[in-house]
């Protein structure tokens, strides 16, 4: 989920009818089918085992966009979470409020073919396919709940730093056991055919061991392939992070300031 307070998305979320059913045209189901089929090839050997276990548990349809009630049934039974339909981009406050209530925000639209590889706005494939499988995992679910509670009580300035923690874990986190291979747990990677291969195989990005203070000080851009990824040893590390005094680290990060960006500045649009 991308959180943004000013950006206006070019997509419009679809609303449910009175029974809670969302009607999608066939061409949008076709996009889901193509994305699912492509990631079904890309993810074995690249996605972490906890994600793949969650994907099996959800048993989501491969040929159509799932209804949120189908996902909720499994999430509620495993970790007590559910989904919440939202527009593409929501405020920090609303985002944290939902997570604090164990509701995962899902934008109910799907990307266009021209943005098949990478999408700046979080569509339903990103939310459902990328994130929801790991919400069946207790450590990931607990971390997400804690994060929502933390952000709900944080100041506007502190929330900007907390966004980096979410970005480099839930969205773009990598995992490497001591006796194992590098794999993906971040939903922003898992839902992006382009970034799945880039994060795992490209020699361009840095891959650094997770350090909370460093993460809070690392700037990012949402519209590019990531120049840096932070790596944890196993999914249970999220439980350890949840026990840390994160706001004390935020205060330290604010005092020290941000690292220099590892990406070029965004090009200005011609007037």
Listed residue (198, 138, 199, 145) closest to 168, CA to CA: 199
Given 50, 97, 127, 131, the catalytic residue: 131
Q: Which of 163, 259, 262, 264 is nearest to 206 (CA)?
A: 262
Based on the residue annotation, tell me whether 131 is a catalytic residue of this protein. Answer: yes
Contact at 8 Å (CB) between 92 and 151? Answer: yes
Asked about 171 being catalytic, the answer comes back as yes
CA angle 217, 2, 12 (to 5 degrees): 160
Q: Which of 28, 50, 139, 191 is catalytic?
A: 191
Q: Is 181 annotated as a binding residue?
A: no
70 is in an annotated binding site: no
Name the catalytic one among 28, 97, 121, 171.
171
Question: By the 8 A CB rule, do 87 and 13 touch?
Answer: yes
126 is in an annotated binding site: yes
CA angle 66, 72, 75 (to 5 degrees): 120
**Integer Cα distance of 144 and 148 in angstroms:** 6
Would residue 191 show up in a list of annotated catalytic residues for this protein? yes
Please list, in sequence order, all residues whose beta carbon lies within 8 angstroms of the beta carbon of residue 73, skipping any fewer than 6 positions away: none
Q: Which is the catalytic residue, given 121, 126, 144, 195?
A: 126
Element (H, E) at 208: strand 206-209
Asked if 105 and 93 touch (Cβ cutoff 8 Å), the reply is: no
Tokens for 254, please give them: 């604010």
CA dist 142 → 100, 120, 240 (Å): 10, 26, 11
Q: Which two tokens stand for residue 37?
A: 């089929």
User: Which DSSP state fits 136?
Assistant: G
- Going by the annotation, the residues of the binding site for Fe cation are 126, 131, 171
**Active-site positions?**
126, 131, 171, 191
- Going by the annotation, the residues of the binding site are 126, 131, 171
């Amino acid at each position: 989920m991308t959180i943004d307070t000013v950006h206006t998305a070019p997509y419009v979320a679809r609303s449910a009818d009175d029974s809670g059913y969302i009607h999608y045209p066939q061409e949008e189901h076709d996009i889901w089918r193509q994305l699912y089929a492509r990631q079904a090839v890309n993810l074995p050997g690249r996605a972490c085992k906890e994600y793949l276990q969650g994907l099996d548990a959800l048993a989501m349809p491969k040929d159509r966009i799932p209804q949120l009630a189908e996902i909720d049934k499994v999430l509620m039974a495993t970790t007590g979470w559910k989904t919440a339909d939202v527009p593409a981009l929501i405020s920090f406050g609303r985002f944290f409020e939902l997570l604090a209530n164990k509701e995962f925000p899902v934008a109910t639209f799907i990307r266009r073919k021209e943005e098949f590889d990478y999408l700046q706005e979080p569509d339903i494939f990103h939310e459902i396919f990328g994130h929801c499988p790991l919400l069946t995992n207790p450590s990931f679910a607990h971390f997400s709940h804690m994060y929502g509670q933390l952000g709900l009580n944080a100041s506007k300035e502190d929330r900007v730093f907390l966004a980096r923690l979410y970005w480099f874990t839930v969205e773009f986190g990598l995992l490497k056991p001591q006796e194992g291979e590098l794999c993906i747990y971040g939903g922003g990677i898992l839902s992006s055919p382009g970034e799945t291969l880039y994060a795992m195989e490209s020699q361009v990005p840095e891959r650094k061991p997770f350090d909370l203070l460093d993460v809070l000080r690392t700037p990012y851009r949402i519209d590019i392939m990531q120049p840096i990824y932070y790596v944890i040893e196993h999914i249970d590390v999220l439980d350890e992070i949840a026990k840390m005094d994160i706001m004390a680290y935020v205060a330290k990060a604010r005092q020290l300031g941000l690292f220099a960006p590892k990406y070029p500045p965004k090009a200005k649009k011609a007037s």
